[in-house]
A and B are shown apart, each in its own frame.
Chain A
C-alpha cells in the first residue's frame, strides 16, 4: 500500500469538488485551485523522491491483488510526468487567476481544470488498460467542458472538430481493449506483458497494436492525425490552451510508450519502423506548418505537433539512449510549451492581437518580458546552454549510436527550421516598430488610478508563473545532470520492465485471497 499514489490522484479530485462547492467568486475558487495544485506538487515531489531512491511503487485498490484488482503504479517515467504535470498545473492555475473571467469561473473553470488534472495524473499512474481508458475519458470530458466554456462561434467550431476526432479515437481504443481482453483474458498491463506474444495467431495482435497506435496517435496528434489540434487550440482562452498544449498530447505519447514497451513487445520491427517514420513526418509537418502561419497561437500549435515527433523518436529507435532523449524532450517540452503559451497570453494582453502584422514594439516597451520570451524560444530551439540543447543533443547521440544518418539529417533540418517561426515572432512582435493603428485609441489615460493599479497587479500576477517556469527551465539548462540521470533511469525502467512487473505482480503468483464476507 502506498498512500502517495492515492494522494496524487485524490488531491486534484477533492480540489475540483471544493472549488465547485465553496461559495465565492473568481478569487476564492481560483485560490482553492492554486492551493490544490500546491498540495499536488508536494505529493508529486514526495512520490518522485521515493521512486528515485527505492524504485517503482504500486498500490492495489481495495486490497484486491493484481491482476484481479486495479493497480496504481509509478515508475520513474510516471513519477516524473506527474511531477511536471503538477508544476504546469500550479503555474496555469496561478496564471488563470487573472486570465479567466468571472463568467468562465462561474461556468466551473476551476472544477473542470482540476478534473482534467485528475484524468492526466490517473492516466500516468494507472497500471490497468481499462482504467487507462477511464482516465482518458475523465480527461476528455473535462477538456470538452473547458473547450466550450463561455465560447463564441469560432471557439464552438473548433470544439466540434476536437470533440469529433477525439470520440473516434475513444471508440477505437475501446474496441482495441475489448479485443485484447478477448485474446489474453486480462487487462492488467503488467500481466499482459509477454502474454500476447505467446498467442499462436499473431495476425490479430498486429491488428490490435495498429488500433492502439491510431487511437493514441490521434490523442498525441501525430502526423496524419493532427488536424484537429491547430483547428481548436488557437480559439481557446490562453490558460486552457496552455494546459492543453503542454499536457494533453503528452498523455497520448506516454500511452504509446507504455503500451508499445509493456504490452506489445518491441520485437515487432514493423511497428517500430512505422513509429519512426511517423515521428519524423510529424516533426517536419509540424515545423513546416509553423513556418506557414502568421498568427502566434497557430505557430505555437504547430510547434506542439512538431515536438511530438521528437518525443516519439525514442520509441521508434528503441534504444535506452534514444528513449532517455525522448523522455528528456518530453519533460522540457511540457514546461516550455506551457511557458510559451502563457507568454503569448501576455503578448495578446499588451498588443491586443495575436496576429504578427498587428504587433510590434514590445521590446521597446517591455524589455524584461522580451528577454523572457527570447529565453523560452531559444530553449525550444536548443541553443546551448539552454534546456532544449541537451534534449536535442541526446536525440542526436541516439541517432549516431544507431548510425541512422537520415534520422540525424532530418532532426537537424527540423531543428534549424524551428528557428524561423520563433525568430519571426521575435522580429515581428518585439523588434520591429509598433504598427501605427488609427482605429485603436490609446486607452491608458482614461484609466483611473485604482483601475491602473489593479491592471498592474494583474499583470505582475501573470508574470509570476512565467518567471517561475523560466527559472525552472534555466535551471534544467544550466544543471542538466540530475534530470539526465533521472531520464536514463526512466528509460531503463521503460525498456527493461522487470522492476515494473515485480512491483505490480509481486514475487511469484500470489494466491487469490479468500473472498471477503
Chain B
C-alpha cells in the first residue's frame, strides 16, 4: 500500500501497539491480559507496519526468522514448565519469587507463569507474523 499517510501512521501505531502488548503481557497475571493477547496485539502492530511497507521491511525489523522466534518462545515455555521439575514438583507447577516481601505484603511476585507467558507471547508473535509474511510474499 503506497500511501505516505498510512506509512507514517503505521510506524507510530506499531510502536504504540508493541508497548501496549508488553503492558498486557505484564498485567496478565491477576487481571485480564496475558501472553496470548499481548502476542496478538504485537503481531497486529507488526502486520500494520508490514501492510504499509511490505513483507521485506517486516522481516528487516524483526531481525530474526519468525519461525525461529515462535520456536524460541516454545522453548522458553517448556523451560518454564521444566523448572519446577528440577525442584521435584509436577511439570508446569508455578514457582514464585517474592521480591521485597513483607509480612503483610507479597511484594513483587515473579514466577514461572510469567516466563511461560513470555514464551507464549513470542510463539504467537512469531507464528502470526510468519503466516502473514508467507501469505504476503506469495501474493
The answer to whether B94 touches A62, judged by C-beta atoms less than 8 angstroms apart, is yes
Q: Beta-carbon contacts of A346-362 to B below 8 Å, as 1s and 0s? A: 00000000000000000
The answer to whether B90 touches A13, judged by C-beta atoms less than 8 angstroms apart, is no
The answer to whether B78 touches A10, judged by C-beta atoms less than 8 angstroms apart, is yes
From 67 to 103 in chain B, residues with beta carbon under 8 angstroms from any chain A beta carbon are 67-68, 71-72, 74-75, 78, 82, 85, 89-94, 96
Residues of B within 8 Å of A21, CB to CB, are: 68, 71-72, 75
The answer to whether B92 touches A16, judged by C-beta atoms less than 8 angstroms apart, is no
From 51 to 103 in chain A, residues with beta carbon under 8 angstroms from any chain B beta carbon are 59-63
CA distance A330 to B89 in the complex (A): 36
The answer to the question of B27 belonging to the interface, with a C-beta cut-off of 8 Å to chain A, is no
Selected contact of A17 from candidates B75, B89, B93, B94, CB within 8 Å: B75
Selected contact of B68 from candidates A1, A16, A20, A516, CB within 8 Å: A20
The answer to the question of B106 belonging to the interface, with a C-beta cut-off of 8 Å to chain A, is yes
The answer to whether B94 touches A108, judged by C-beta atoms less than 8 angstroms apart, is no
A106 CB to closest chain B CB (Å) equals: 11
Given A14-B78, A17-B75, A20-B68, check contact A1 B90 (CB 8 Å): yes
The answer to the question of A517 belonging to the interface, with a C-beta cut-off of 8 Å to chain B, is yes
CA distance A517 to B97 in the complex (A): 12
CA distance A238 to B61 in the complex (A): 39
The answer to whether A17 touches B71, judged by C-beta atoms less than 8 angstroms apart, is yes
Q: Beta-carbon contacts of A5-19 to B below 8 Å, as 1s and 0s? A: 010001001101100
Given A20-B68, A20-B71, A517-B106, check contact A62 B92 (CB 8 Å): yes
Interface size of A by CB at 8 A reads 19
Selected contact of A517 from candidates B85, B92, B96, CB within 8 Å: B96
B120 CB to closest chain A CB (Å) equals: 14
CA distance A13 to B94 in the complex (A): 21
The answer to whether A59 touches B91, judged by C-beta atoms less than 8 angstroms apart, is yes
Residues of A within 8 Å of B106, CB to CB, are: 517
The answer to the question of A441 belonging to the interface, with a C-beta cut-off of 8 Å to chain B, is no
Given A6-B85, A10-B78, check contact A111 B91 (CB 8 Å): no
With most chain A CB atoms within 10 A of its CB, the pick from B72, B89, B91 is: B91
Residues of A within 8 Å of B72, CB to CB, are: 17, 21
The answer to whether A13 touches B74, judged by C-beta atoms less than 8 angstroms apart, is yes
Residues of A within 8 Å of B90, CB to CB, are: 1, 59-63
Selected contact of B93 from candidates A10, A16, A62, CB within 8 Å: A62
The answer to whether A111 touches B85, judged by C-beta atoms less than 8 angstroms apart, is no
The answer to whether A62 touches B78, judged by C-beta atoms less than 8 angstroms apart, is no
The answer to whether B71 touches A63, judged by C-beta atoms less than 8 angstroms apart, is no
Residues of B within 8 Å of A14, CB to CB, are: 75, 78
The answer to the question of A368 belonging to the interface, with a C-beta cut-off of 8 Å to chain B, is no
The answer to the question of A3 belonging to the interface, with a C-beta cut-off of 8 Å to chain B, is yes
The answer to whether A108 touches B67, judged by C-beta atoms less than 8 angstroms apart, is yes
Nearest B residue to A20, CB-CB = B71
Nearest B residue to A5, CB-CB = B91
B123 CB to closest chain A CB (Å) equals: 11
Residues of A within 8 Å of B82, CB to CB, are: 10
B74 CB to closest chain A CB (Å) equals: 6
With most chain A CB atoms within 10 A of its CB, the pick from B71, B94, B96, B106 is: B71
CA distance A61 to B80 in the complex (A): 13
B97 CB to closest chain A CB (Å) equals: 12
The answer to whether B93 touches A63, judged by C-beta atoms less than 8 angstroms apart, is yes
A240 CB to closest chain B CB (Å) equals: 19
A138 CB to closest chain B CB (Å) equals: 11
CA distance A294 to B93 in the complex (A): 55
B39 CB to closest chain A CB (Å) equals: 17
The answer to whether B94 touches A111, judged by C-beta atoms less than 8 angstroms apart, is no
Residues of A within 8 Å of B91, CB to CB, are: 1, 6, 59, 61-62
Given A60-B90, A61-B90, A63-B90, check contact A17 B74 (CB 8 Å): yes
Residues of A within 8 Å of B92, CB to CB, are: 61-62
CA distance A162 to B72 in the complex (A): 30
Residues of B within 8 Å of A60, CB to CB, are: 90
A binding-site residues for B, Cβ under 8 Å: 1, 3, 6, 10, 13-14, 16-17, 20-21, 59-63, 108, 111, 516-517
User: In the complex, given contacts A62-B94, A517-B96, what are 7 additional A-B residue pairs having Cβ atoms less than 8 angstroms apart?
Assistant: A6-B91, A13-B78, A16-B71, A17-B72, A59-B91, A61-B91, A62-B93
8 residue pairs, one from A and one from B, having the closest CB atoms: A62-B92, A63-B90, A6-B91, A63-B93, A17-B71, A17-B75, A20-B71, A61-B92
